[in-house]
């Protein structure tokens, strides 16, 4: 019998020395992901359409003893996205992790959607994600290593009235994740998606600010409550780190069992 190979399990989640970019890191899940990765050693680049928000999160990380800088970027601008990644690689010589979160959810029924509104949602959610993934994949392929984390949603597989276009973008991101993983895997680059359930962020404020709507959503999942953005940091760190070294093309559902529950009616079962 061969002796067991020594393995450092404690190092699985350690991101020390890695350069991590979070696009949309100025608030919500992006902020939590940036702060979480910094707490386990990563050097962060926090990018957001709001330079003020990105700078504020970077300062919070530095105040907590971490390393972080900030950049302003609009993922609807291809040249800006490419320039951002080129700058990061020029300054840090590498890019190990990227998490991209920007999205908009325009809640309207399909028959009420205009072409302009459709284009707005697709442009930011789907094409913006594509731009970031493409730009970041280039240096990762060259260095032969990297983790790309795209933001899906429970809406990738289940929908409700008014969510059809948003849900379409999230389903598209799941398939984009799978396709990119197949293409980039031979180069040592992993691509996975995170699919949150109901998380209290600026994007969901129209719901959380309505008491009835807020409670109905909370009761819909198995844990009976909303998630805080910080609860998404764990899955993000997992996907960024060597703890998920054999995961690619996977969508991780952090939804408190939402997608496991069939309908909103709880039947009376025989004892």
Dist. CA 193–CA 205, nearest whole Å: 23
pLDDT in tens, 147-184: 999 999 999 999 989 999 999 999 999 999 999 999 99
pLDDT in tens, 178-222: 999 999 999 999 999 999 999 998 878 888 898 988 998 999 999
Closest CA to 97 of 169, 170, 46, 173: 46
pLDDT in tens, 115-140: 999 999 999 999 999 999 999 999 99
pTM attached to this predicted model: 0.94
The DSSP bridge partners found for residue 253 are: 195
pLDDT in tens, 19-65: 999 999 999 999 999 999 999 999 999 999 999 999 999 999 999 99
Catalytic residue annotation: 166
For the chain, list the domains and their CATH numbers.
16-200+228-255 (3.40.50.720)
**CB–CB of 20/44 below 8 Å?**
yes
| The two three-digit tokens of residue 248, written as one number | 């690619």
pLDDT in tens, 213-265: 899 899 999 999 999 999 999 999 999 999 999 999 999 999 999 999 976 65
How many C-beta atoms surround the C-beta of residue 211 within 10 A? Answer: 8
Dist. CA 87–CA 143, nearest whole Å: 16
Dist. CA 220–CA 258, nearest whole Å: 7
- Specify the pLDDT at position 187: 98
Dist. CA 43–CA 47, nearest whole Å: 13
């Amino acid at each position: 019998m061969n002796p067991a190979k020594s393995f450092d399990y404690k190092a699985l989640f350690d991101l020390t020395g890695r350069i991590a970019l979070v696009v949309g890191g100025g608030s919500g899940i992006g902020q939590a992901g940036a702060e979480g990765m910094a707490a386990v050693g990563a050097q962060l680049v926090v990018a957001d359409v709001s330079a003020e928000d990105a700078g504020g999160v970077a300062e919070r990380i530095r105040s907590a003893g971490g390393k972080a800088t900030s950049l302003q970027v609009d993922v609807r601008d291809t040249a800006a996205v490419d320039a951002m990644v080129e700058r990061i690689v020029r300054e840090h010589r590498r890019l190990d992790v990227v998490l991209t979160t920007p999205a908009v959810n325009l809640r309207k029924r399909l028959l009420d959607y205009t072409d302009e509104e459709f284009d707005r949602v697709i442009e930011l959610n789907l094409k913006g994600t594509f731009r970031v993934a493409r730009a970041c994949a280039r240096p990762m392929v060259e260095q032969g290593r990297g983790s790309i984390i795209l933001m899906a949603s429970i809406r990738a597989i289940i929908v409700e009235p008014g969510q059809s276009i948003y849900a379409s973008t999230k389903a598209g991101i799941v398939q984009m994740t799978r396709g990119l993983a197949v293409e980039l895997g031979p180069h040592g680059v992993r691509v996975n998606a995170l699919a949150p359930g109901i998380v209290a962020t600026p994007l969901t404020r129209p719901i959380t600010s309505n008491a009835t709507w807020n409670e109905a959503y909370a009761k819909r999942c198995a844990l009976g409550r909303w998630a805080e953005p910080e609860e998404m940091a764990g899955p993000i760190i997992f996907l960024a780190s060597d703890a998920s070294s054999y995961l690619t093309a996977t969508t991780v559902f952090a939804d408190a069992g939402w997608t496991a529950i069939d309908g909103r009616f709880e039947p009376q079962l025989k004892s």
